[in-house]
Amino acid sequence: MKKDYSTRILLAASLIGFVLSCVVHAATYAGLHIGDFPYIWVLHLSCLVIMFALVFKTANLTRGQRRRDFWVILLKPLPSWVRAASLFVLLHGAASLTWTLILDEKGQPSVINGQKVMQEHGRVLRPLNDAEYRREMALQTRLISNFLVFFFGLGCLMAWATVVRNQSRSAADLARQFSESKEHALADPRQF
Q: What is the pLDDT of residues 114-166, one digit of tens each?
A: 888 888 887 888 888 998 888 888 888 888 888 888 889 888 888 888 888 77
Cα 161 from Cα 7, distance rounded (Å): 10
Q: Kindly state the DSSP code that residue 61 receives in the 8-state scheme.
A: G
148 contacts 47 by C-beta, under 8 angstroms: yes
54 contacts 158 by C-beta, under 8 angstroms: yes
- Digit-coded pLDDT (tens) for 152-166: 988 888 888 888 877
- pLDDT band with cut points at 50, 70 and 90 for residue 16: very high
162 contacts 58 by C-beta, under 8 angstroms: yes
Beta strand spans in 20-114 (E): 108-112
